[in-house]
């Protein structure tokens, strides 16, 4: 008997790759991955849409296989948003909740959140999430969950995650072109973090670094909550392009060198010989190392600046976790550790049911995280989920009382 009560779909729109994961959820809430796929994307620049048609075509094409594999027709998904436009802003708000005996209810939380957010984020920004990281009641600080508590004055401190409105609108429009409604937009590094971090890491303090093709995104967690998101407009494709320019070779050959021969240990060694299209190419290992090292040093220097800007340099006991396609370079953690002067490990999603073991790879972290967000953001039965209108988005206000901790 098919126990599936609903499906959760995560869709990562990366600069170089689009990926989707579908999981079925049974009555007991157990997830099982039933479909996935990836395809090359086009029409994106540094995590942001440059045209609508490129990503729409890539997604439409890629989802065909996911639907065949899962037997589920995809109408909506939780989708990634990326780019240096992403911002986290710290805010605070205060409201009077009534008499001293008043029990704080959801309406009060809504109001205090509204006060904290209104006017703090520029009008051209879409609020993706509001993460309360502390309440105080009548001046008493350190309250994590004020629901049901009594008091007359409620204050909240929160982190607001936002992205430029036109970019969000265009992303949704492009997805509509692929006949997919956007349930929610989540920063790709935040989604990736959800797939690879455990509660202890988030509680103690940790950074996730998503080394993608054209962006390197950083998310910082402490006390269980997201504290900061920053996106650097450079990624692994810059290494390929540098190699192609400096070694005077094609980007195909450069990509092959990067993936097969470069390691983050940057040890000396024999010349690199590559056979491609019946041609043999020889490169000096020393030169290859020099080129890759220079670009990676620049990227990790910027990561370090992000950590400093966020106030977390040398303050993260759980160190950093690397994810994204670029993190697959062998021994990259060794290099990152030296550059960042903190412990670094490679992140990889684990423990997925169904056909999930095939996608337990760093480049699938964001997609799996998006699917996990979809799993807990949606409790609709299959029928209504499938009827869901195209383009309908469950925005921040709708989700307000279903607060998900990033
Ligand atoms: N084995 C490998 N070694 C080194 N780099 C790799 C390896 N495999 C893939 N990459 C690189 O990973 C990058 C793609 O990563 P990913 O799919 O995470 O990017 P994306 O999500 O499309 O981009 P972005 O997140 O920047 O928008 C490419 O630049 C590719 O060359
Ligand atoms: Mg990515």
pLDDT in tens, 207-252: 999 999 999 999 999 999 999 999 999 999 999 999 999 999 999 9
Domain CATH code at residue 154 = 3.30.1490.110
Asked if the structure places residue 15 within a domain, the reply is: yes
Summary mean pLDDT of the chain: 91
Q: Among 3-7, 46-50, 61-65, 199-203, where is mean pLDDT lowest?
A: 3-7
264-270 LR contacts (CB < 8 Å, sep 24+)? 264/296, 264/329, 264/330, 264/331, 264/332, 264/333, 264/334, 264/335, 264/336, 265/330, 265/331, 265/334, 265/335, 266/292, 266/293, 266/335
Residue 96 pLDDT class (50, 70, 90 cuts) = very high
Whether residue 405 is predicted with pLDDT greater than 70 in this model: the reply is: no
Taken in order 314, 320, 326, 327, is the CA torsion positive or negative? positive
Q: Is the CB of 255 under 6 A from ligand 1?
A: yes
Residues with Cβ–ion distance below 5 A, ligand 2: 14, 188, 212
Nearest ligand to the C-alpha atom of residue 215: 1
Tell me the C-alpha distance between 296 and 236, whole Å: 9
User: Does 61 lie in the same domain as 188?
Assistant: yes
User: Does 77 lie in the same domain as 12?
Assistant: yes
User: What would the mean pLDDT of 100-121 be, rounded to a whole number?
Assistant: 91
Q: What is the pTM of this model?
A: 0.91
Residue 397 pLDDT class (50, 70, 90 cuts) = very low
Whether residue 277 is predicted with pLDDT greater than 90 in this model: the reply is: no
Asked if the structure places residue 113 within a domain, the reply is: yes
Nearest ligand 1 atom to alpha carbon 259: 3
117 Cβ contact partners less than 8 Å away, ≥ 6 residues apart = 91, 93, 127, 130, 158, 160
Q: Which of 346, 341, 317, 320 is nearest to 331 (CA)?
A: 346
Find residue 92's DSSP bridge partners: 157
Asked if the structure places residue 46 within a domain, the reply is: yes
* Total number of domains in the chain: 2
User: Does 92 lie in the same domain as 151?
Assistant: yes
Q: Is the CB of 361 under 6 A from ligand 1?
A: no
86 alpha carbon – ligand 2 mean position (Å): 14
Tell me the C-alpha distance between 91 and 156, whole Å: 8
363 alpha carbon – ligand 2 mean position (Å): 7
User: Does 132 lie in the same domain as 108?
Assistant: yes
| pLDDT, position 376 | 87
234 alpha carbon – ligand 1 mean position (Å): 11
Nearest ligand 1 atom to alpha carbon 38: 17
366 alpha carbon – ligand 2 mean position (Å): 7
Q: Whose CA is nearest to atom 12 of ligand 1?
A: 325
364 alpha carbon – ligand 1 mean position (Å): 10
Q: Is the CB of 83 under 6 A from ligand 1?
A: no
Asked if the structure places residue 319 within a domain, the reply is: no
Nearest ligand to the C-alpha atom of residue 15: 1
User: Does 156 lie in the same domain as 42?
Assistant: no
Q: Is the CB of 237 under 6 A from ligand 1?
A: yes
Q: Is the CB of 227 under 6 A from ligand 1?
A: no
Nearest ligand to the C-alpha atom of residue 18: 1
Q: Which of 212, 184, 190 is nearest to 299 (CA)?
A: 212
User: What would the mean pLDDT of 307-324 be, rounded to a whole number?
Assistant: 97
Whether residue 381 is predicted with pLDDT greater than 60 in this model: the reply is: no
Asked if the structure places residue 143 within a domain, the reply is: yes
Tell me the C-alpha distance between 197 and 14, whole Å: 21
User: Does 91 lie in the same domain as 63?
Assistant: no
Q: Is the CB of 192 under 6 A from ligand 1?
A: no
User: What would the mean pLDDT of 154-162 be, rounded to a whole number?
Assistant: 95
User: Does 159 lie in the same domain as 12?
Assistant: no
User: Does 126 lie in the same domain as 67?
Assistant: no
User: Does 172 lie in the same domain as 74?
Assistant: yes
15 alpha carbon – ligand 2 mean position (Å): 7
Whether residue 284 is predicted with pLDDT greater than 60 in this model: the reply is: yes
Residue 300 pLDDT class (50, 70, 90 cuts) = very high
Whether residue 382 is predicted with pLDDT greater than 60 in this model: the reply is: no
Q: What percent of the chain has pLDDT over 70?
A: 92
Which of 111, 141, 164 is a domain's end point? 164
User: Does 179 lie in the same domain as 111?
Assistant: no
Nearest ligand to the C-alpha atom of residue 44: 1
Q: Give me the domain span that covers residue 91.
A: 87-164
Tell me the C-alpha distance between 278 and 314, whole Å: 50
User: What would the mean pLDDT of 373-389 be, rounded to a whole number?
Assistant: 49
User: Does 70 lie in the same domain as 39?
Assistant: yes
| pLDDT, position 395 | 37
Asked if the structure places residue 137 within a domain, the reply is: yes
Domain CATH code at residue 50 = 3.30.420.40
Whether residue 389 is predicted with pLDDT greater than 70 in this model: the reply is: no
| pLDDT, position 333 | 98
Asked if the structure places residue 287 within a domain, the reply is: no
Nearest ligand to the C-alpha atom of residue 370: 2
Residue 119 pLDDT class (50, 70, 90 cuts) = confident
User: Does 73 lie in the same domain as 171?
Assistant: yes
| pLDDT, position 163 | 97
State which of 62, 219, 326, 348 you would mutate to test the pocket of ligand 1, scoring each by most atoms of that ligand within 8 A of its C-beta.
326
| pLDDT, position 2 | 62
Asked if the structure places residue 104 within a domain, the reply is: yes
């Amino acid at each position: 008997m098919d126990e599936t009560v609903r499906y959760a779909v995560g869709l990562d729109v990366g600069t170089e790759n689009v990926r989707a994961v579908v999981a079925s959820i049974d009555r007991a809430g157990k997830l099982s991955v039933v479909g996935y796929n990836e395809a090359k994307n086009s029409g994106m620049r540094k995590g942001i849409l440059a045209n609508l048609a490129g990503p729409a075509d890539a997604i439409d094409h890629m989802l065909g296989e996911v639907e065949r594999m899962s037997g589920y027709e995809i109408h909506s998904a939780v989708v990634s948003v990326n780019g240096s436009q992403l911002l986290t802003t710290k805010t605070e708000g205060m409201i009077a909740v009534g008499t001293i005996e008043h029990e704080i209810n959801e309406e009060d939380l809504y109001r205090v959140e509204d006060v904290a957010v209104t006017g703090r984020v520029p009008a051209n920004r879409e609020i993706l999430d509001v993460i309360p990281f502390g309440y105080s009641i009548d001046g008493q600080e350190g309250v994590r969950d004020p629901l049901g508590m009594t008091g007359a004055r409620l204050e909240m401190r929160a982190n607001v995650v936002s992205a430029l409105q036109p970019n969000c609108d265009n992303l949704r429009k492009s997805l509509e072109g692929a006949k997919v409604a956007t349930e929610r937009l989540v920063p790709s590094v935040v989604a990736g973090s959800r797939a690879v971090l455990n509660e202890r890491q988030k509680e103690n303090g940790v950074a996730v670094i998503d080394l993608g093709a054209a962006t390197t995104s950083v998310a910082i967690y402490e006390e269980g909550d997201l504290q900061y998101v920053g996106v650097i407009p450079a990624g692994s494709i810059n290494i390929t392009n540098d190699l192609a320019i400096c070694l005077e070779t094609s980007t195909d050959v450069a990509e092959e060198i990067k993936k097969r021969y470069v390691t983050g240990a940057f040890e000396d060694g024999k010349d690199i010989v590559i056979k491609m299209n019946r041609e043999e190419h020889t490169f000096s290992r020393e030169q290859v190392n020099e080129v890759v090292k220079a670009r990676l040093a620049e990227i990790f220097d910027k990561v370090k600046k992000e950590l400093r800007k966020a106030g977390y340099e040398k303050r993260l006991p759980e160190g950093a976790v690397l994810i994204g396609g670029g993190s697959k370079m062998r021994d990259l953690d060794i290099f990152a550790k030296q550059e960042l002067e903190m412990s670094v490990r490679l992140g990889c999603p684990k423990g997925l049911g169904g056909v999930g073991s095939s996608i337990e790879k760093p480049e699938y972290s964001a997609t799996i995280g998006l699917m996990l967000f979809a799993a807990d953001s949606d409790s609709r039965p299959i029928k209504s989920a499938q009827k869901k209108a195209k383009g309908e988005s469950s925005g921040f206000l709708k989700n307000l009382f279903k607060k998900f901790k990033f």
